[in-house]
């Protein structure tokens, strides 16, 4: 198979209330620039995932853009999901929008963001903009799909320091950590600042300090699913694979089954385990771990409901199916990607994957 180039636009860390989304993009960043093993003389291509950093955590995030009110059907672990609906949120220019803790993008210069989601029923809409007080709104199945969320200016020192920390996360991690600490000093009972600090310290490799920050978040907010997901990442980065799996699974339990960051973390962890087994020639365990990886990535996709982060997960899942020689399943995943993101920078490459897979199937 020929060499291919994934061009993946990832722009920020993943966080829920603290300003990020699921899954953690820093975990996904580990999947870039990875040389795949050779198997029984067959060359598996080196897949390069180029990351285009488009700015800081708030100002340079994905502009998901205005999408036509298209209805598509999502494919998940159990078959087709519900119909996607189109929502339009109007707020301050450059405001970040979340639905059930999942980030869908930023409003444009006119203060509008239009996006597609499969979420229905009771949901929570949240909007934040620099210099403004964050606002949340409960939604029901009967809520309108066009919602206005005006924000109010804030002078809260803790909130402003927190927003600064979020902006700096992808630019200067040390300054970001300092800003998180200022937010904590201004508001000692600020669990999101503790968790944001833990995330940025994991990125710097200061695992002991990250664990202390994580303990602070847990003290203020016991049973917090997101904190357990971050613990899973901390343990994984520290080389404690079994503890990472335990933490990720605890996050899913604490989230009552909803924790796409933890599902994605597990999917990537098992994908890496499969690659290790394959590299050593243990193809039975390779296959078993790829099966686990695909199970968890599909669960994450379903819960992300078309959010921008699914751009990466669709490609990882398709790649896993390719490695398992499950070409028909890989094609379904790539086709779903194209239905959701027909205008993405990756669309042309994904179309070429489908063409190549169909050629391979025809010659088998």
Name the H helices within the chain: 25-29, 157-168, 173-186, 191-204, 207-220, 225-237, 241-254, 260-279, 283-304, 310-323, 327-340, 347-363
DSSP, res 127: E
φ, ψ at 306 (rounded to 5°): 85, 10
Confidence band (pLDDT; 50, 70, 90) for 347? very high
Whether 220 shows a pLDDT value over 90: the answer reads yes
DSSP, res 5: E
Confidence band (pLDDT; 50, 70, 90) for 187? very high
Q: In what order do the strands lie in the sheet with 123-128?
A: 102-106, 96-99, 123-128, 135-139
What would the two tokens of residue 26 be? 């820093």
Q: How far apart are CA 293 and CA 237, in angstroms?
A: 18
Q: Answer whether 7's CB lies under 8 Å from 345's CB.
A: yes
What would the two tokens of residue 302 be? 């379903």
Q: How far apart are CA 153 and CA 161, in angstroms?
A: 14
pLDDT value at residue 32:
36
φ, ψ at 105 (rounded to 5°): 135, -165
Q: Answer whether 194's CB lies under 8 Å from 187's CB.
A: no
Measured on CA atoms in the order 218, 19, 75, 292, is the torsion positive or negative? negative
Confidence band (pLDDT; 50, 70, 90) for 120? confident
pLDDT value at residue 360:
92
For 101, residues 6+ apart whose C-beta sits below 8 A from its C-beta are 16, 17, 21, 22, 124, 126, 226
Q: How far apart are CA 232 and CA 250, in angstroms?
A: 9
Q: For 135-176, what is each residue's pLDDT tens digit?
A: 999 998 888 889 999 999 999 999 999 999 998 998 999 999
pLDDT value at residue 322:
95
For 311, residues 6+ apart whose C-beta sits below 8 A from its C-beta are 8, 9, 337, 341, 344, 346
For 308, residues 6+ apart whose C-beta sits below 8 A from its C-beta are 21, 62, 64, 103, 104, 105
- Helix-then-strand count for the chain, H and E: 12, 13
Q: Answer whether 118's CB lies under 8 Å from 84's CB.
A: yes
Which domains are seen in the chain, by residue range? 5-363 (1.25.40.10)
């Amino acid at each position: 198979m020929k060499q291919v180039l994934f061009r993946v636009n990832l722009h920020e860390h993943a966080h829920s209330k603290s300003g990020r989304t699921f899954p953690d993009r820093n975990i996904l960043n580990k999947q870039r620039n990875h040389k795949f093993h050779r198997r029984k003389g067959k060359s598996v291509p080196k897949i390069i995932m180029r990351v285009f950093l488009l700015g800081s955590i708030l100002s340079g995030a994905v502009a998901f853009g205005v999408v036509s009110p298209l209805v598509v059907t999502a494919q998940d672990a159990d078959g087709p999901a519900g119909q996607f609906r189109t929502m339009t949120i109007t707020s301050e220019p450059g405001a970040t929008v979340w639905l059930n803790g999942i980030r869908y993008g930023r409003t444009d210069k006119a203060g509008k963001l239009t996006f597609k989601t499969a979420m229905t029923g009771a949901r929570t809409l949240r909007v934040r903009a620099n210099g403004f007080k964050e606002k949340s709104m409960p939604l029901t199945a009967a809520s309108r799909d066009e919602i206005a969320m005006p924000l109010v200016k804030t002078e809260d020192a803790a909130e402003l320091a927190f927003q600064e920390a979020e902006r700096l996360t992808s630019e200067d991690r040390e300054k970001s950590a300092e800003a998180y600490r200022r937010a904590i000093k201004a508001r000692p009972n600020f669990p999101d600042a503790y968790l944001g600090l833990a995330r940025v310290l994991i990125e710097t490799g200061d695992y002991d300090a990250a664990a202390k920050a994580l303990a602070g978040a847990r003290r203020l907010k016991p049973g917090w699913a997101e904190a357990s997901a971050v613990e899973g990442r901390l343990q994984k980065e520290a080389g404690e694979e079994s503890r990472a799996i335990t933490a990720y699974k605890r996050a899913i339990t604490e989230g009552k089954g909803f924790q796409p960051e933890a599902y994605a973390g597990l999917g990537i962890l098992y994908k890496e385990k499969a690659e290790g087994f394959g590299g050593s020639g243990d193809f039975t365990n390779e296959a078993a771990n790829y099966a686990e990886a695909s199970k968890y990535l599909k669960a994450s996709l379903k819960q992300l409901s078309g959010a921008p982060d699914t751009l990466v997960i669709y490609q990882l899942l398709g790649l896993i199916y390719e490695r398992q020689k499950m070409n028909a399943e890989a094609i379904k995943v790539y086709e779903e990607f194209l239905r959701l993101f027909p205008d993405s920078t990756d669309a042309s490459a994904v179309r070429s994957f489908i063409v190549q897979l169909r050629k391979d199937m025809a010659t088998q």
